[in-house]
Amino acid sequence: MLSLHPCLPPSSVLHRGTGRRPTGNDSQPSILCTADGRAGVEVGHVSADVNATAIVKRIQRTKKYAHLCESVIRRASDQAVARYRTEKEAEKAARRRLHQVYGAYLEEDWVGEVGRALDAVDKDDLAEPRAFCLPLLDLHASTRERVDNLDTLFPRIFSETGTPSHVVDLACGLNPLTVSWMGLPESCRYTAVDLHEGLALVLNRFFERFGLTGEAVCGDVLEWDDFTADVVFLLKVLPCLARQEKDADLATVARIPSRDVVLSYPSKSLSGRDVGMVEHYGNRAREIADCCGRDLIEIEGASELVFVLRKGA
């Protein structure tokens, strides 16, 4: 039985039968959808011609979205089908939505760059994994901002959580390339999850080449439900999840049974300006901790805003 805190939005309830979470369609009960996603009757904006599954398949065939995990495309398509009359309009809207929310993660070739670096790994790289990873961390804004802080950030986090036996890094980006700064024991499992299939492939190559106990999976955080880990990372991703579904930042933390959830937020804008993010995101982190019945511990002195949310005793 899934128990939810009363302050959670209804959208946080997992649809057990279908294994999928509610979408824009679910708020339109008069729309009948067949198993293949075809809208059966013309109700509101939905016509019989609008087929979400066909839209998903076409979007998956495009070069830009070919590497995106299916449930993310499915969500955007379901939401568009609920709002537009024709398949053409719905598909256009779904693509627009995917571009707005995920475009920034797909456009640059940082995954390709990591792949090419792995093609050229030599014995010096294997002996010095940090030196190999440093220039790669610079490819993505989130890890770039973390680079000067790596020596202290993870020791501080793990001094709060204790040494984990399993870490799940949700919406990981290139953060798994920081594992050699984490000081984790060899026995510790590290599961990295991101919506980008190509990223999961290169991260698995990285783990294998460097003999690390890690696995990367292409998955959607809003659907993820494998939480055997004692520590879950949600680094710099909650604002992005909240754009994908209302209150998805809160709902995601609420679904996690693990003892410690490590959240982080950027403290400055991409141009380096202080635009009140510390106060704004600090308040949101406190709200999430309160709603989820977790204690909030701030990790001070980092280049990003970092909190450990500890399950109440």
Ligand X SMILES: C[S@@+](CC[C@H](N)C(=O)[O-])C[C@H]1O[C@@H](n2cnc3c(N)ncnc32)[C@H](O)[C@@H]1O
Residue in 25, 161, 244, 258 binding ligand X, rule: CB under 6 A: 244
Residue 195 CB, shortest distance to ligand X, in Å, is 4
Collect contacts of 34-43 with beta carbons under 8 A, ≥24 apart: 37/77, 37/78, 37/81, 39/81
Distance CA 103, CA 106 (A): 5
Task: Tell me: does residue 249 bind ligand X (CB under 6 A).
Answer: no
Task: Tell me: does residue 79 bind ligand X (CB under 6 A).
Answer: no
Structural Rg of the chain based on CA atoms: 20
Three-state DSSP state, 235: strand
Interface pattern 164-193 for ligand X (x via CB under 6 A): -------xxx-x------------------
Q: 117 or 170, CB closer to ligand X?
A: 170
Distance CA 214, CA 169 (A): 11
Q: 37 or 198, CB closer to ligand X?
A: 198
Contact at 8 Å (CB) between 217 and 192? Answer: yes
Residue in 196, 249, 251, 254 binding ligand X, rule: CB under 6 A: 196
Distance CA 136, CA 117 (A): 8
Task: Tell me: does residue 23 bind ligand X (CB under 6 A).
Answer: no
Q: 51 or 175, CB closer to ligand X?
A: 175
Residue in 216, 222, 299, 306 binding ligand X, rule: CB under 6 A: 222
What is the size of the binding site for ligand X (CB under 6 A)?
19
Task: Tell me: does residue 157 bind ligand X (CB under 6 A).
Answer: no
Task: Tell me: does residue 68 bind ligand X (CB under 6 A).
Answer: no
Residue 170 CB, shortest distance to ligand X, in Å, is 7
Residues 6+ apart with CB under 8 A from 118: 202, 205, 206, 209
List strand residue ranges (DSSP E) for the chain, in order.
Answer: 166-170, 189-194, 214-218, 231-235, 260-266, 294-299, 304-311
Interface pattern 36-55 for ligand X (x via CB under 6 A): --------------------
Contact at 8 Å (CB) between 232 and 261? Answer: yes
Q: Which residues bind ligand X (CB under 6 A)?
A: 72, 105, 142-143, 171-173, 175, 194-196, 220-222, 235-237, 240, 244
